[in-house]
Amino acid sequence: MRKATREWVKKAEGDYRAAEMLLRGQDRLHDQSCFFFQQCAEKYLKVCLRSVKLQLPIPTISKICLSSLSPITSLSED
């Protein structure tokens, strides 16, 4: 594994540990935990893309993911 890839894995694992701590802590910070789980997934996605020598900037990855979602056409208030 390349040095840069190992660094991304290390960062992803740090995000995962942070998410777990926030989720299992006394205050159970769900929103913040979800943020770190998302960050972890994004970094592991980057690792996967780099392993097949596909290097896209994260904003491009986000656009690809968002383009597969159906647009929200209307929101109703409760």
pTM above 0.85, yes or no: no
User: DSSP state, 53?
Assistant: T
Asked, for residue 74, whether it belongs to a domain, the answer is: no
Q: What is the pLDDT of residue 74?
A: 45
Q: What is the pLDDT of residue 60?
A: 67
Asked, for residue 61, whether it belongs to a domain, the answer is: no
Asked, for residue 70, whether it belongs to a domain, the answer is: no
Asked, for residue 65, whether it belongs to a domain, the answer is: no
The parent domain of residue 21 ranges over: 3-52
Asked, for residue 57, whether it belongs to a domain, the answer is: no
**Number of domain units in the chain:** 1
Asked, for residue 78, whether it belongs to a domain, the answer is: no
Asked, for residue 8, whether it belongs to a domain, the answer is: yes
pLDDT digits (tens, 9 = 90+) for 9-18: 999 999 999 9
Half-sphere CA count of 46, side-chain side, radius 13 A: 21
Asked, for residue 31, whether it belongs to a domain, the answer is: yes
**How many residues does the structure list for the chain?**
78
The ranges of the chain with pLDDT < 50 are: 73-78
